[in-house]
Chains A and B, each alone.
Chain A
Amino acid sequence: MSSFDVELIDIVKDFESGGSRLRAVDHINVQIADGEFFALLGPSGCGKTTTLRLIAGFEQPTAGRVLIRGRAMEGIPAYHRPVNTVFQDYALFPHLTVEQNIMFGLQMEGLEKKEAQKRALESLEQVRLPGVGRRRPHQLSGGQQQRVALARALVKQPAVLLLDEPLGALDLKLRKNMQVELKALQRDVGITFVYVTHDQEEAITMADRIAVMNNGEMLQVGSPKEIYERPGTRFVADFIGETNFVDGTLLERDEEGFGTVKLMNDAVIRAQLSDTLASTGGPVLVAIRPERISICRADAGPAGPGTTSLAARLVDSQYIGTDTRFTLQIGETIELVARVQNIDDLPKAAFPVGQAVTANWSETSTTILDH
C-alpha cells in the first residue's frame, strides 16, 4: 500500500492537431504525499494545467500511469475518480443557485436532498460565505464565486483537491488574503492540494513543495526554500525571483559541494555547486540573488572567510519602496543588481552613483549552474 495520494509515473501527453504533434507533458515522475500542498509552477503553456487534467481524468496520458491513493486510474473516467477540481473560471453552473451548485455533486452520489442541503450550508460556512445559497453565481463577486467553487469541490470530501489557478482572476489584495485563507483551510481539512499557478510568489508562500515546469518537463521538485536557494537550472533560478547570472569557467569541483570559477574579469570565486550540475569544467553560470549582495565602502577592509569580495562601481540606484536597487559594474563586462532593504536612510545617502564600492556575498548563497 502506497502512502502517496498521487503518483505520476513516466507520464507523456501528446496532442495532435492537423498532422503536427505537440508534446504537452514530457516524462513526468512525481509523488505527492497525503495531506501535502503541492504546487505546479511554470509559465503558460508549460504543461501544468494538462498535468492537472490528467490527474482529474479529463485527459488520458499518451504513455505512463496515474495512481491515486495507490490505485491505477487507467480507464477510470473523471466522474469515478476521488478528486475534485476548482476550475480557473470556476465553471459554476449559471442556471443553478449557489446552493444547488454545491448540492450537485452530492446528489450525483445519491445523497438525499435534505441531507445534501444541510451539507451545502455547512460547506458555505466553511468557506466563510453563509447566506448566499439562494443567489445565482452571476450575482456574486469574483471572490465570492471563487469561494463557492471551493465549497462545491470540498463538500465532496475528495482524496485530492485540484486547483487550476484559482486566484488568477482576483485583484492583488484579495489574492493575498485568499492565499492565507486557502492555506489555513488546507491545514484544517487535511486534504491533499495540487495547485497550478504561474505566480512564483503564490507558490512559494503557500506550497509545501513546488514542481517547476517548462516545456512539458518537470525541471525541479522541492520545498520553496530549496527551489529558491538552490535552483537546479538557469530556468528555475530565473523564473523564481530575481537573479544575477554571471558567465564563468569552472576550474575545479571539490568534495564539499563547492566549485572554483573564473569570471569574465579574471576574478576567481568559490561558489556552491547545484545538485544537478553536469559540468566538470568549462563554461558555467554563476547565479547570485540580488538581496544576498551587500555593499561596503571600498576602503572598508578585507571581508571574512567564506565571503566573496569584488571591487565594483555604483552605476545606478533606484528607490523601490521597501528596497533600494543598486546596479554595480564589476570590471568591464559584469553588471550585478543588488537589493538593499531600506531599514533606515542609510543606503541611498551613503552610496552616491559613481562611487567605488566593494560587493560582498557569502559563498553559500551563490550557485554554479550548467550553461
Chain B
Amino acid sequence: MSRWFRRSQKNGSLLALPTALWLLVFFVLPLVIVLVVSLMSRGRGGVAQMPLTLQHYERTFGIFSIILWRSIGLAGLTTIVCLLVGYPLAFFISTRRRRIVQQITLFLVILPFWTNFLIRTYAWRILLGDEGTINGILRALGIISEPLQLLNTQFAVLVGLVYGFLPFMVLPIFASVERFNFRYVDAAQDLGANETRAFLRVVLPLTMPGLLAGCALVFIPSVGAFVTPDLLGGARGLMIGNLINNQFGGSGNMPLGSALSIVMMGVVMLSLLVYVFGNRRQTGA
C-alpha cells in the first residue's frame, strides 16, 4: 500500500483523484442514467418505467427531426454570422497602436456580461416587438405602415444568439491575432503575394486555432440554447433545447427528453471532433 502510494506520488496520478471522483459522480453517472432512461418507456406523469424501447429515438429522428435540423441550422448560421462580424472586430482590436484604445474596445466586448443574460434577452423583445423600438422608428420615418413581424421568428432567435455569443468568438480570435507576427505579412508580400493572397495563405492559417476555438465556443452553446428561442422565437423559433426543457415538467416525457439530450450531445461531440481534427491539420501534428 505504502509503496503504491509512493509510486503514484512520484508520477502524480493521485493529484487527479479529486477530479476523477467528481467527474464520476456528477458526470459519468448522470450520463449513464440519462442513457438508460432514454431507452425506457413513459409512465404516468412523464416518468420512466420498464420495458425498454427505442421509440423515443424514433420520434427524435422522426417528427422532431425538423426541430433538430432547425437547431443545427440556426446554430450554424449563428456561428457564421459571429465569425463574419467577430473576425474583423478581433483584428481591429488587436491591431490598435494605442494600448488604451485596445483596452476600451476589449472592455466594450465584455461589457454585456455585466448584466444578466435574461434581462438582456428581454431587452431584445422590446427592440423587436410589434410596438417595439425598431418598428417605431421605421414607422416614424414612413418606411413602413404596418409593423414588421420581427419578434417570434427564427430571425429574432438568430439576432439574439449572435448578440449573446459574439464575445465567445471575438476573444479567442483576438488572442490568436495578438500572437500573430505581422512580419509574416511583410514576408508574404515580399515574396509576391498581394493583400488577398497574403491573407489567405498566411494570416488565415496562422489565426485558424483561434477561429476554430471561437466557432466551437459559439456553435456548442447555440445548439442547446433554450432561453433565447423561448423569449424571442415563439412557436416558429422553437429549438431542441426548448423541446428538452418541456419534457422535464408536469406533463413532460422524461424518456423522450433523455433521448433528445443524448442526440444533442452527439451533435456537440461531432462538432468537437471537427474542431479537434481541424486543429490537428493546422498544427501539422
A: residues with CB less than 8 A from B are 17, 56-58, 77-80, 83-85, 87, 89, 91-95, 104-105, 108-109, 136, 152-153, 156
Contact = CB atoms under 8 A, between A and B. Distances in A.
B263 interface: no
A73 B90 CA distance: 34
A79 B193 contact: yes
A105 B183 contact: no
B133 interface: no
Contact of B194 (A79, A87, A92): A79
Nearest to A158: B190
B181 A91 contact: yes
A104 B183 contact: no
Contacts, number: 63
Given A95-B205, A95-B284, A84 B190 contact: yes
B213 interface: no
B206 A94 contact: yes
A93 B183 contact: no
B186 A78 contact: yes
A357 to B, nearest CB: 55
Residue among A58, A91, A109 having the largest count of chain B Cβ atoms under 10 Å: A91
Given A77-B194, A95-B205, A95-B206, A87 B187 contact: yes
Given A58-B189, A77-B194, 17 more contacts: A56-B186, A58-B186, A58-B190, A77-B189, A78-B189, A78-B190, A79-B189, A79-B190, A79-B193, A79-B194, A84-B190, A84-B191, A91-B187, A93-B202, A104-B188, A104-B193, A153-B191
A79 B185 CA distance: 11
Contacts of A153: 190-191
Interface string B89-110: 0000000010000000000000
B194 A156 contact: no
A108 B193 contact: yes
Contacts of B202: 93
A17 B188 CA distance: 26
A152 B191 contact: yes
10 contacts: A58-B190, A77-B194, A80-B192, A83-B190, A85-B187, A93-B187, A93-B206, A108-B191, A156-B191, A156-B192
B184 A105 contact: no
A108 B197 contact: yes
A78 B189 CA distance: 6
Q: Which 9 A-B pairs have the closest CB atoms?
A: A105-B191, A108-B192, A91-B187, A78-B189, A91-B183, A79-B189, A85-B190, A95-B205, A79-B192
Contacts of A95: 205-206, 282, 284
A92 B188 CA distance: 10
A55 B11 CA distance: 57
Nearest to A152: B191
B201 A104 contact: yes
A8 to B, nearest CB: 19
Nearest to A88: B183
Contacts of B284: 95, 136
A152 B205 CA distance: 20
Nearest to B190: A85
A83 B187 CA distance: 12
